Structure 1
Amino acid sequence: MAEKKTKKEAEQELSLEEAFTKLDQLLEKLEDREIPLEESFSIYKEGMDLLRISRGKIDTVEKKMMQIDEDGELSEF
């Protein structure tokens, strides 16, 4: 039987492009003046979670682009 992924696990598997697209969609929702305050807080929290995940992915890529050479010097990949 296949396990159902949690929302957090699904967000962790998003590519950066997918996360940015989702952030754009959330921004559009927040720009709607008719959105209830409680819903806007929920959307804001979801956006902050996506930003945190995206930041982590970017940091991982940056670290992979740097490597230490034989002399112990840090150089770009």
Structure 2
Amino acid sequence: MAEKEFKLEEAFEKLNQITVELEKPDISLEDSFSLYQEGMKLLKACNDSIDKVEKELIILSDNGEANEF
């Protein structure tokens, strides 16, 4: 994902598309490796986004108000 705001839902949809492509029997090794790399980058971005939200929720529950990072 480029410099635009990261959207978790869009990332999940793209991961689904990558999975569909990887399951095709006629995919080349090069294409499958490229898709795998893209998928792993998306997974990391998703995990980072989810972790950020979890930390904000912990701070919110500890302080009773939201804090910006």
TM-score range, shorter chain: 0.7 to 0.9
Q: After the TM superposition, list the runs of 4 or more consecutive aligned residues in structure 1 that deviate by more than 3 angstroms.
A: none
Matched positions, count: 63
The percent identity for this pair of structures is: 46
Unaligned ranges ≥5, structure 2: none
Question: What RMSD in Å do the two structures reach over aligned CA positions?
Answer: 1.9
When you count helix as a share of all residues, which structure comes out higher?
Answer: 2
Unaligned ranges ≥5, structure 1: 1-6, 70-74
State the SS of the aligned residue for 2:3.
helix
Q: Which has the higher contact order (CA 8 A, sep 6+)?
A: 2
State the SS of the aligned residue for 1:65.
helix
Larger radius of gyration: 1
When you count strand as a share of all residues, which structure comes out higher?
Answer: 1
Cα deviation 1:14-70 (Å, max 9, x = unaligned): 31100000000000000001000001000000000000000000000001101233x
- Asked if 1:52 corresponds to 2:23, the answer is no
TM-score normalised by the chain length of structure 2 = 0.81
TM-score normalised by the chain length of structure 1 = 0.73
